[in-house]
Amino acid sequence: MEGYKLIRAEKSDRFEPTPSFSTPVKVKENRKVCCLSHFILLSFFTALPRSTLTVTPDSVFTGERVILTCEINSDHSDWRYEWYKDGTEVSERHTVKGNTLTIERSETSDAGLYTCKGHIDGRSVSSQSSSAVYLSVTDLPTSTLTVTPDNPVFTGERVDLKCMIESHSDWRQRNGLTYDRGYDWTYYQTAEWRYEWYKGSVMLQTSERYTVNRDTLTIRGATESDQDQFWCRGQRDERPNSSQSSSVSLTVTDSPRSTLTVTPYSPVFTGERVILKCVIESHSNWRYVWYKGSVMLQSSERYTVNTDTLTIRGATESDQDQFWCRGQRDERPNSSQSSSAVPVTVKDSPTSTLTVTPDSPVFTGERVSLKCEIESYSNWRYEWHKDSVMLQTSERYTVNRDTLTITAVTTSDAGQFWCRGQRDKRPNSSQSSSVPVTVKDSPTSTLTVTPDSPVFTGERVSLKCVIESRSNWRYEWYKDSVMLQTSERYTVNTDTLTIRGATESDQDQFWCRGQRDERPKLSQSSSVSLTVTGELNIIVLINSLCYDHMSI
State residue 187's pLDDT score.
37
State residue 431's pLDDT score.
84
202 by DSSP, 3-state: which?
strand
What is the pairing mode between strands 268-269 and 346-347?
Answer: parallel
Q: Which three-class secondary structure string do you get for 468-508? A: CCCCCCEEEEEECCEECCCCCCEEEECCEEEECCCCHHHCE
Q: Would you give the DSSP letter of residue 334?
A: -
Range 482-489 average pLDDT: 92
State residue 239's pLDDT score.
82
State residue 101's pLDDT score.
94
State residue 500's pLDDT score.
93
Q: Nearest to residue 116, comparing CAs of 101, 102, 95, 135?
A: 101
List all residues 6 or more positions away from 11 whose beta carbon is below 8 Å from its beta carbon: 27, 29, 30, 44, 46
Residue 3, sorted as left (phi over 0), alpha (psi -120 to 50) or beta, turns out to be left
Range 151-156 average pLDDT: 91
Phi, psi of 41 (to 5 degrees): -105, 125
Q: Nearest to residue 462, comparing CAs of 495, 509, 504, 505?
A: 495
Among 36-45, 200-209, 486-495, 517-526, name the one with the lowest average pLDDT: 36-45
Q: Nearest to residue 153, comparing CAs of 204, 223, 225, 247?
A: 223
Residue 66, sorted as left (phi over 0), alpha (psi -120 to 50) or beta, turns out to be beta
Phi, psi of 355 (to 5 degrees): -115, 150
Confidence of residue 37 (pLDDT cuts 50, 70, 90): very low
Using CB atoms within 10 Å of the CB of residue 121, give its burial: 0 to 12 exposed, 13 to 18 middle, 19+ buried: exposed
What is the pairing mode between strands 100-103 and 95-97?
Answer: antiparallel
Q: Nearest to residue 19, comparing CAs of 8, 35, 3?
A: 3
Range 204-216 average pLDDT: 93
Between the two ends of the chain, the Cα-to-Cα distance in Å is: 233
Phi, psi of 294 (to 5 degrees): -100, 5
| % pLDDT > 90, the chain | 66
Range 510-519 average pLDDT: 92
Cα–Cα distance, 59 to 180 (Å, whole number): 15
How many alpha carbons lie under 13 Å from residue 528 in its C-beta half-sphere? 23
Using CB atoms within 10 Å of the CB of residue 505, give its burial: 0 to 12 exposed, 13 to 18 middle, 19+ buried: exposed
State residue 172's pLDDT score.
56
Q: Nearest to residue 67, comparing CAs of 23, 108, 102, 112?
A: 102
Range 385-409 average pLDDT: 94
Q: C-alpha 32: how far from its chain's center?
A: 100
Q: What is the mean pLDDT of the chain?
A: 85
Confidence of residue 58 (pLDDT cuts 50, 70, 90): confident
Range 185-196 average pLDDT: 63
Using CB atoms within 10 Å of the CB of residue 453, give its burial: 0 to 12 exposed, 13 to 18 middle, 19+ buried: middle
Q: Decide: 82 and 130 in contact? Cβ < 8 Å.
A: no
- Structure confidence by residue, pLDDT tens digits, 260-317: 999 999 899 998 999 999 999 999 999 999 999 999 999 999 999 999 999 999 999 9
Task: Express the helix, strand and coil content of the chain in percent, nearest 5 each.
Answer: 10, 45, 50
Confidence of residue 543 (pLDDT cuts 50, 70, 90): very low
State residue 46's pLDDT score.
64
- Structure confidence by residue, pLDDT tens digits, 331-371: 999 999 999 999 999 999 999 999 999 998 999 989 999 99
State residue 400's pLDDT score.
94
State residue 175's pLDDT score.
61
Range 529-540 average pLDDT: 68
Q: Would you give the DSSP letter of residue 314?
A: S
